[in-house]
């Protein structure tokens, strides 16, 4: 199994008591060496870059943003001096520095954009509390049906969106599903076996978010993901499919495995 590298989302920094943290956003001209020049200025002032994100502007040509959480507790210049020196650089258009208090959250950027859509970042524990409360209201079969149908609707919508925006069809669209689910943290799809002619599909998912948040159960629990697989694959083959969960990590499996076949 290929090693997975965890990724921290640029929303929050876990700090240490002796650190003096600032969030600094540098607006750069999109030219060769711009990031290196800004990094040189920070380095020469002994500013410690803890984590950062770099992205193009969506509304201004030839412009990018480099935002970092930095520790200036051991810096040789104060934050105002660093900002002024950055602003004097020919590659820097603007600089914004904020001391995020009382917690080091990203307080500069909003909204969050995923691809071309506004997005939310929600810790898995919050999903878990939501699922627990709904489970108290519904019977087990009702809970399974509600989340399966919701997942199916979401999967179909996701497939339509990817197909429309990127012109994908068939197995290429199925590969995009594997990329998308891993990128947004829903799970890591390790294997997709797709036979469009039969039709039949088997999908294996490691660290499925539903299995993680639902804990150890006697029964298979990934109803939303099962529905998502059914809805997504139904759009790929242009024929209604239903999905079953063959193995579930919440019920003792190594990973979650789903099979989709034509609706009877």
What is the token pair recorded at 48?
């410690």
Residue 90: cis peptide before it, omega within 30 degrees of 0:
no
Other Cβ atoms within 10 Å of 106 Cβ, number: 20
Give 259's pLDDT tier (boundaries 50, 70, 90): very high
* Contact indicator for 76, 86 with CB cutoff of 8 Å: no
Element (H, E) at 129: helix 124-137
* Contact indicator for 131, 213 with CB cutoff of 8 Å: yes
Residues 6+ apart with CB under 8 A from 201: 174, 192, 193, 194, 195, 229, 233, 241, 259, 260
195-252 confidence digits (pLDDT tens)? 888 899 999 999 999 998 876 776 788 999 999 999 999 999 888 999 999 999 988 8
Residues 6+ apart with CB under 8 A from 35: 28, 54, 66
State mean pLDDT over 17-32. Answer: 97
Q: What pLDDT shows up at residue 117?
A: 85
Q: What gap in Å lies between CA 132 and CA 201, rounded to an integer?
A: 30
* Contact indicator for 244, 202 with CB cutoff of 8 Å: no
For the entire predicted model, the pTM comes to 0.84
Buried b (16+ CB within 10 A) or exposed e, 213-233: bbeeeeebbbbbbbbbbbbbb
Measure Cα distances from 216 to 43, 222, 251 in Å: 48, 12, 6
What is the token pair recorded at 109?
């950027």
Of 138 and 127, the structure prediction assigns the larger pLDDT to: 138
With CA atoms as reference, report the closest residue to 127 among 40, 213, 3: 213
Q: What pLDDT shows up at residue 122?
A: 86
With CA atoms as reference, report the closest residue to 178 among 89, 258, 88, 116: 258
Q: What gap in Å lies between CA 69 and CA 64, rounded to an integer?
A: 17
Q: What gap in Å lies between CA 73 and CA 15, rounded to an integer?
A: 12
Structural domains in the chain plus CATH codes: 21-116 (3.30.70.260), 124-262 (3.30.1380.20)
Q: What percent of the chain has pLDDT over 70?
A: 97
Q: What pLDDT shows up at residue 2?
A: 61
């Amino acid at each position: 199994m290929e090693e997975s590298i965890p990724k921290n989302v640029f929303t929050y920094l876990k700090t240490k008591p002796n650190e003096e943290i600032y969030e600094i956003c540098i607006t750069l001209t999109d030219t060769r060496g711009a990031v290196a020049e800004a990094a040189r200025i920070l380095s020469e002032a002994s500013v410690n870059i803890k984590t950062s994100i770099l992205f193009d502007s969506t509304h201004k040509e030839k412009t990018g943003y480099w935002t970092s959480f930095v520790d200036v507790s051991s810096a040789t210049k104060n934050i105002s001096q660093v900002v002024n020196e950055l602003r004097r650089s020919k590659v820097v258009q603007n600089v914004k520095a904020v001391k995020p208090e009382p917690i080091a959250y990203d307080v500069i950027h909003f909204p969050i954009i995923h691809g071309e859509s506004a997005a939310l970042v929600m810790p898995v524990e919050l999903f878990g509390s939501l699922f627990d409360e709904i489970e108290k209201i519904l019977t087990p079969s009702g809970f399974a049906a509600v989340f399966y149908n919701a997942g199916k609707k979401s999967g179909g919508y996701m497939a339509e969106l990817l197909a429309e925006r990127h012109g994908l069809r068939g197995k290429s669209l199925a590969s995009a599903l594997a990329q998308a689910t891993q990128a947004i943290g829903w799970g890591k799809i390790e294997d997709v076996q797709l036979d469009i002619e039969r039709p039949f599909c088997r999908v294996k998912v490691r660290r499925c978010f539903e299995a993680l948040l639902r804990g150890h159960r006697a029964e298979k629990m990934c109803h939303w993901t099962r529905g998502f697989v059914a809805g997504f694959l139904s759009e790929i083959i242009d024929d209604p499919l239903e999905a079953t969960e063959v193995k579930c990590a919440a019920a003792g499996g190594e990973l979650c495995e789903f099979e989709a076949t034509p609706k009877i």
